[in-house]
């Protein structure tokens, strides 16, 4: 390596990052991931968010974010073709004005609109946060969503998966050429020392949490909860989100949609958290339960196994009912499961997540800068 080359590379590496996050459905888990990322990133470099104002989007987004984060609300209120085109047009004007070093597209609609709007310029990174073709739907719709995901994977600089399973899907199904994997994380697990003594007197509490949408299989979860209701208080923290197609959970007490802090306090009061999803990216609610020393019992899908391992996932409703009953009846077993979770939860801190994403951004931005500054073959030969 020559001194000239070394100096050129050092100059590229030292240039500051400018990161633009693009989010359509700015609510729920994706909102928390992006909010957490910007919380840590804004101390290191300029950060902005271009976001859709969907029904689940908080009314005053700025109240939840560091004031240094620049915000660009987009005309992305519905999932109509007209709304997508308007959002793409607005985004195409933001990018050259704000001049990001890298653009991080979060979830399917942002991936499609982002690749349509950003034809050239800074490198783009796409995080599916649960691939759309995993959803329970007819074969034609799954094929359509797979086609869209392959289109996005071809037109972004890289796919940024949030779990090993999502990375496998990116390579094997979306046919992504370049894939990074950075697990999700939450601030509560940066240095978590929560240890709750198992001194609860019966009845203990078993809860599920979140939107009652098809992903969370609310009817199946309700059957599990009702089956253990003779030994525990059972409830569902949450309900149908505003503007969603969520359903009721028959026979289970529901709190309705709550402010995040209130919902997390109720989760902390539970003894067991049932996370019965049909598909996932990497669930923050599992991590939130682990941070509060609440035992997680989850459906046996790869993203859930990635977090809690094989002993706390169940392949059937009957297996989940049996395991939850044994946990309710056996204090020693509850202590064993909590100890296992404590050993695992350190992997899912937010500082680690933000730092790893920054490494990805830097690699992508430096690669793009190196390509722009690389001498032509004729100049190289002349040297």
217-242 residue pLDDT tens: 999 999 999 999 999 999 999 987 65
Task: Classify burial at 214, counting beta carbons within 10 Å of its beta carbon; exposed 0-12, middle 13-18, buried 19 or more.
Answer: middle
CATH of domain 12-185+350-382: 3.40.50.2000
Ordered by start, the domain boundaries in the chain are 12-185+350-382, 188-347
Three-state DSSP at 71 gives: strand
What is the reported pLDDT for 247? 61
352-380 residue pLDDT tens: 999 999 999 999 999 876 665 555 444 33
What is the reported pLDDT for 115? 92
Q: Nearest CA to 41 among 126, 100, 111?
A: 100
159-216 residue pLDDT tens: 999 999 999 999 999 999 999 999 999 999 998 888 877 666 678 999 999 988 889 9
* pLDDT under 50: residue ranges of the chain: 1-13, 376-383
What is the reported pLDDT for 242? 59
What pTM does this model have?
Answer: 0.86
What is the reported pLDDT for 152? 96
What is the reported pLDDT for 377? 45
What is the reported pLDDT for 250? 77
Token pair for residue 41? 């990133």
What is the reported pLDDT for 3? 41
CATH 3.30.70.980 is held by the domain 188-347: no
Same fold, 12-185+350-382 and 188-347: yes
Q: Is 344 left (phi over 0), alpha (psi -120 to 50) or beta?
A: alpha
């Amino acid at each position: 390596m020559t001194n000239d080359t070394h100096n050129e590379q050092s100059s590229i590496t030292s240039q500051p990052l400018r990161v633009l996050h693009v989010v359509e459905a700015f609510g729920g888990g994706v909102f928390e991931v992006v909010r957490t990322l910007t919380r840590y990133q804004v101390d290191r470099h300029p950060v902005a968010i271009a976001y859709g104002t969907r029904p689940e989007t908080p009314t005053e987004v700025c109240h939840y974010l560091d004031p240094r984060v620049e915000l660009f609300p987009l005309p992305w209120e519905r999932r109509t073709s007209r709304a997508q085109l308007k959002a793409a047009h607005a985004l195409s004007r933001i990018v050259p004005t704000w001049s990001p070093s890298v653009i991080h597209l979060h979830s399917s609609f942002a991936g499609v609109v982002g690749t349509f709007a950003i034809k050239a310029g800074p490198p783009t990174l796409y995080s599916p946060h649960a691939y759309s073709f995993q959803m329970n739907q007819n074969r034609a719709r799954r094929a359509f969503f797979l086609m869209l995901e392959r289109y996005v994977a071809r037109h972004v600089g890289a796919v940024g998966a949030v779990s090993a399973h999502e990375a496998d899907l990116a390579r094997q199904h979306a046919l992504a050429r370049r894939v990074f994997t950075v697990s999700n994380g939450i601030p509560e697990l940066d240095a978590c020392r929560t240890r709750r003594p198992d001194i609860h007197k019966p009845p203990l509490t078993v809860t599920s949490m979140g939107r009652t949408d098809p992903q969370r299989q609310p009817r199946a979860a309700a059957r599990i909860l009702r089956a253990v209701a003779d030994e525990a208080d059972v409830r569902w923290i949450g309900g149908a989100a505003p503007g969603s197609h969520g359903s009721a959970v028959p026979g289970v007490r529901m709190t309705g949609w709550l402010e995040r802090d209130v919902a997390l306090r109720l989760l902390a009061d539970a003894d067991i958290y049932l996370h019965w999803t049909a598909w996932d990216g990497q669930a923050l609610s599992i991590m939130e339960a682990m941070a509060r020393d609440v035992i997680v019992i989850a459906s046996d899908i790869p993203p859930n196994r990635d977090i809690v391992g094989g002993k706390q996932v169940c392949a059937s409703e009957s297996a989940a009912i049996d395991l939850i009953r044994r946990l309710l009846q056996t204090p020693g077993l509850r202590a064993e499961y909590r100890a296992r979770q404590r050993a695992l939860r350190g992997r899912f801190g937010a500082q680690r997540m933000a730092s790893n994403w920054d490494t990805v951004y830097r690699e992508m931005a430096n690669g793009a800068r190196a390509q722009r500054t690389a001498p032509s073959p004729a100049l190289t030969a002349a040297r």
